């Protein structure tokens, strides 16, 4: 089956493409790009992308899909549906499920469930240590054979420098990046929000920025010691971003990510004790947001990831300090980047594609994703930079609704998502895109 995405504006930073092009895909793979004036090849279906941006499929390398073990919060199928509705073609599932993904059997289970769901591609991340206890290394080699793309004890930061050193040395041998949630527990313990003016006003224990900064520094020093690839998850502080900037200047294999909520909201959002403002790392003060925006602009920050963390409404309807950390993010991530970054002139559209597709593919060494090179997977995210919309959490594809962005208005959205050549999502109102390719859509809907 062949599908032509015609008259779109193609942005593929990996190839330096940033211009109007037609994109031809066949049997789930990219055939190549051609100019708008070139006639459509015979016998192919057509998706008319006039006025839209066509980008390599977006990759969210940090999500919590909760299956196995916490299916009441999210399943791999519901998480994958939320992913494609948000414009993501690939998501990486963190291992903190029950059981934890610390062995090949769980890895294979996650992959099988994702294949059954058939929406976004789900790539598992394995645990660094058994049961993420921070004591013994998990079987990274077997998990890699089964399909993991990185290792992380996300949510339970590797507690000691000694353990992290061994993990980096061992993971290096399998060419796996080590992803760490930077948080020095002895500083952050008991904290439920950013430590600063608002934690004093609200009378809640804070997590100082230094808790993240100390651990980020530790991880960069260990990356230097071991030569491993270290990826620092969801950075939220000026100090940690500075640390990464210095590590990169030294030539270390250190990369990092930030989340949309950390550049959108300050800790003042906690003021009315809404538990949908509770996440780890916490919402920070204005100065830290400025540092994130600088890092996004100057290239220090490689990747945007959502840290999509579904929790049931009952769990979030507790006292603030009792409620679990985390918010969902898959369906608002592109809107927040388009509205708050691209359309405000903070970053270019090309930079956005780097942050959401090119760079996560590079960090995870996903050779055939994040680009439209001939032979790459035909994963596409199609964006309407001007589309005005309002997020209605009650219509989310996720099983959970724990978001502070319900009712937010955005300009700019992912309007069509194509995974391995199949149109798996069209935003309501954009069905017309495939009016000339009814079969492509029908096929995807029948699954």
Partner 1 sequence: MSANFNLKHLLGIRELSVDQITYLLDTAETFRDVSRREIKKVPALRGRTVINLFFEASTRTRTSFEIAAKRLSADAVNISVSTSSVSKGETLLDTARNLEAMAPDCIVIRHSSAGAPQHLARFCNAAIVNAGDGAHEHPTQALLDALTIREHKGRIAGLKIAIVGDILHSRVARSNIYLLSKLGATISVAGPGTLVPPEFAELIDQGVTVERNIQDAIDGADVVMILRMQRERQTEAFFPSMREYAVHFGLHLSHLSRAADDAIVMHPGPMNRGVEISSEIADGGRSLILDQVTNGVAVRMAVLYLLAGAGKTENGVKKTQNGKNASRGTSPTIREGSSDSKNGSKEKKEKTRNSKPEARN
Q: Tell which residue, 423, 399, 419, has the closest CA to residue 314.
A: 399
Shortest distance, position 190 Cβ to partner 1, whole Å: 9
Q: Say how far apart CA 118 and CA 97 lie, in whole Å.
A: 21
In 226-349, the DSSP E strands lie at: 230-232, 254-258, 303-304
Query: Strands 17-26, 29-34: parallel, antiparallel or unpaired by DSSP?
Result: antiparallel
Q: Taking CB under 8 A as the criterion, which residues in 268-327 touch partner 1?
A: 272-273, 314, 317-322
Give the range of 96-104, 163-171, 177-185, 194-202 binding partner 1 by CB under 8 A. Answer: 194-202
Give the range of 197-205, 217-225, 396-404, 410-418 binding partner 1 by CB under 8 A. Answer: 197-205
Q: Which is nearer to partner 1, 226 or 277 (CB)?
A: 277
Number of other CB atoms surrounding residue 191 within 10 Å: 21
- The correct pick among 196, 295, 326, 412 for binding partner 1 (CB under 8 A) is 196
Q: Which is nearer to partner 1, 70 or 316 (CB)?
A: 316
Query: Strands 193-194, 206-207: parallel, antiparallel or unpaired by DSSP?
Result: parallel
Could you tell me the CA-to-CA distances from 427 to 62, 139, 331, 336, 384 in Å, in that order?
A: 23, 41, 11, 16, 10
H helix or E strand, kind and range, residue 209: helix 209-226
Q: Which is nearer to partner 1, 118 or 208 (CB)?
A: 208
Q: Taking CB under 8 A as the criterion, which residues in 201-240 touch partner 1?
A: 201-204
Shortest distance, position 262 Cβ to partner 1, whole Å: 21
Shortest distance, position 287 Cβ to partner 1, whole Å: 14
Shortest distance, position 274 Cβ to partner 1, whole Å: 9
Q: Which is nearer to partner 1, 273 or 408 (CB)?
A: 273
Shortest distance, position 268 Cβ to partner 1, whole Å: 13
Burial 386-425 (b: 16+ CB within 10 A, else e): ebebebebeebbbbbbbbbbeebebbbbbbbbbbbbbbbb
What are phi and psi for residue 219, nearest 5 degrees? Answer: -65, -35
Residue 307 is among the residues annotated as catalytic for this protein: yes
Shortest distance, position 197 Cβ to partner 1, whole Å: 6
Q: Which is nearer to partner 1, 42 or 272 (CB)?
A: 272
**Options 102, 302, 307, 379, the catalytic residue:** 307
With binding defined as CB under 8 A, does residue 197 bind partner 1? yes
Q: Which is nearer to partner 1, 202 or 221 (CB)?
A: 202
Count Cα neighbours of 146 within 13 Å in the Cβ-side half-sphere: 21
The site string for partner 1 over 149-188 (x = CB under 8 A, - otherwise) reads ----------------------------------------
First-to-last alpha carbon distance for the chain, in angstroms, is 17
Helix 209-226 and helix 161-173: axis angle, to 10°? 50
Q: Say how far apart CA 424 and CA 437 lie, in whole Å.
A: 13
Q: Which is nearer to partner 1, 1 or 202 (CB)?
A: 202
Q: Say how far apart CA 244 and CA 11 lie, in whole Å.
A: 27
Could you tell me the CA-to-CA distances from 287 to 236, 267, 279, 339 in Å, in that order?
A: 10, 11, 19, 20
Shortest distance, position 359 Cβ to partner 1, whole Å: 36
Give the interface size with partner 1 as a residue count (CB under 8 A). Answer: 16
Residues 6+ apart with CB under 8 A from 304: 257, 258, 259, 260, 333, 337, 355, 356
Interacting residues with partner 1 (CB under 8 A) = 196-197, 200-204, 272-273, 314, 317-322
Question: Which residues are known to be catalytic?
Answer: 307
């Amino acid at each position: 089956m062949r599908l032509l995405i015609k008259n779109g504006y193609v942005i593929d930073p990996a190839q330096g493409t940033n211009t109007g092009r037609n994109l031809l895909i066949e049997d789930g793979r990219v055939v190549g790009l051609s100019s708008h004036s070139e006639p459509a090849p015979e016998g192919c279906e057509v998706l008319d992308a006039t006025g839209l941006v066509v980008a390599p499929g977006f990759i969210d390398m940090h999500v919590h899909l909760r299956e196995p073990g916490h299916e009441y919060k999210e399943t791999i199928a519901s998480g994958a549906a939320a992913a494609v509705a948000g414009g993501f073609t690939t998501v990486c599932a963190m291992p903190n499920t029950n059981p934890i993904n610390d062995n090949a059997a769980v890895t294979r289970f996650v992959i099988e469930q994702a294949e059954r769901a058939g929406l976004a591609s789900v790539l598992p991340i394995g645990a660094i240590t058994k049961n993420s206890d921070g004591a013994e290394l998990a079987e990274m080699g077997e998990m890699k054979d089964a399909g993991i793309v990185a290792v992380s004890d996300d949510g339970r930061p590797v507690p000691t420098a000694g353990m992290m050193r061994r993990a980096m040395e061992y993971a290096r041998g399998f060419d796996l990046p080590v992803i760490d949630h930077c948080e020095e527990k002895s500083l952050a313990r008991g904290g439920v929000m950013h430590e600063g003016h608002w934690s004093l006003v609200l009378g809640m224990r804070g997590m100082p920025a230094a808790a993240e900064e100390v651990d980020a520094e530790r991880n960069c020093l260990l990356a230097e010691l071991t030569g491993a690839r270290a990826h620092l998850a969801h950075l939220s502080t000026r100090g940690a971003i500075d640390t990464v900037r210095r590590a990169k200047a030294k030539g270390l294999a250190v990369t990092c990510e930030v989340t949309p909520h950390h550049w959108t909201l300050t800790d003042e959002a906690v003021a009315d004790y809404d538990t949908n403002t509770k996440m780890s790392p916490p919402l920070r003060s204005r100065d830290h947001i400025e540092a994130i925006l600088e890092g996004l602009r100057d290239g220090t920050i490689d990747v945007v990831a959502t840290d999509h963390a579904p929790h049931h409404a009952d769990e979030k309807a507790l006292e603030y300090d009792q409620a679990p950390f985390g918010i969902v993010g898959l369906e608002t991530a592109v809107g927040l980047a388009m509205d708050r970054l691209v359309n405000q002139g903070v970053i270019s559209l090309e930079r956005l594609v780097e942050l959401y597709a090119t760079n996560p593919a590079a960090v995870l060494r996903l050779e055939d994703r994040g680009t439209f090179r001939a032979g790459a997977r035909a994963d596409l995210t199609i964006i309407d930079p001007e589309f005005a919309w309002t997020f209605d959490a009650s219509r989310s594809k996720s099983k959970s609704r724990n978001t502070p962005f319900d009712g937010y208005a955005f300009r700019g959205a992912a309007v069509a998502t194509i995974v391995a050549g199949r149109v798996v999502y069209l935003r309501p109102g954009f069905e017309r895109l495939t009016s000339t390719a009814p079969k492509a859509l029908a096929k995807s809907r029948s699954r």
